[in-house]
């Protein structure tokens, strides 16, 4: 469940988010909170407490960025946790959104340090082909793009 605490100032608003930004009620709640504050100059989303974001949450961020461009406010994402920041970089949303990461997280990502929670902090040198027993395909449909068979 996503929880949002709103802190307002003269021309900006800070929405402190905690929980999960996933499809359903959570995405609708954040969209509604940002739309209620669309008359501000700056809308800042503090993601320090956001544990995970799914595709609907990423789509919402793009939608809110576009809304801000049309309506006239600037959307900023502040303090995303390591795995959320890595996801934003992986999807290249850091080139679209204005993201202000915590200094220590940014330094670790630049150094390529991996975390103890199993999330990758570096960059891939070449594409990976994943094969596992859970991805079985019938022999008639099996196609190996590397071999062309």
Alpha helices in 76-128 (DSSP H): 82-90, 103-111
With the C-alpha atoms ordered 83, 52, 117, 77, is the resulting torsion angle positive or negative?
positive
Using one digit for the tens of pLDDT, what is the confidence trace for 66-99?
999 999 999 999 999 999 999 999 999 999 999 9
With contact defined as beta carbons under 8 Å apart, do 107 and 78 qualify?
A: no
- For tokens 């190996």, the residue is 144
Choosing among 3.40.720.10, 3.40.50.880, 3.10.129.10, 3.30.750.24, the CATH entry for 3-135 is 3.30.750.24
The predicted-structure confidence for 23-74, as pLDDT tens digits, reads as follows 999 999 999 999 999 999 999 999 999 999 999 999 999 999 999 999 999 9
Which tokens hold the place of 138? 């019938």
Q: How far apart are CA 97 and CA 77, in angstroms?
A: 7
Each domain of the chain, given as residue ranges in start order, spans 3-135
Q: Tell me what pLDDT residue 132 has.
A: 40
pLDDT at 140 over 90: no
| CA separation for the pair 25, 15 (Å, rounded) | 17
Full-model pTM:
0.68
Q: Are 99 and 81 spatial neighbours (Cβ–Cβ below 8 Å)?
A: no
CA–CA distance, 76 with 16 (Å, rounded to integer): 12
Q: Which CA distances in Å does 60 have to 15, 116, 127?
A: 15, 29, 28
- How many whole angstroms separate alpha carbon 120 and alpha carbon 65? 27
């Amino acid at each position: 469940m996503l929880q949002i605490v709103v802190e307002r100032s003269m021309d900006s608003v800070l929405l402190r988010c905690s929980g999960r930004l996933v499809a359903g009620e959570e995405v609708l709640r954040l969209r509604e909170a940002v739309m209620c504050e669309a008359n501000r100059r700056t809308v800042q989303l503090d993601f320090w407490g956001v544990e995970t974001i799914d595709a609907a949450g990423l789509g919402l961020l793009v939608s809110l960025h576009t809304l801000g461009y049309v309506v006239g406010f600037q959307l900023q994402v502040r303090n995303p946790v390591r795995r959320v920041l890595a996801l934003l970089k992986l999807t290249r949303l850091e080139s679209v959104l204005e993201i202000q990461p915590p200094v220590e997280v940014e330094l670790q990502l630049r150094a390529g340090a991996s975390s103890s929670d199993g999330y990758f902090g570096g960059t891939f040198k070449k594409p990976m082909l994943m094969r596992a027993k859970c991805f079985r395909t019938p022999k008639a449909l099996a196609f190996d793009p590397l071999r062309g068979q």
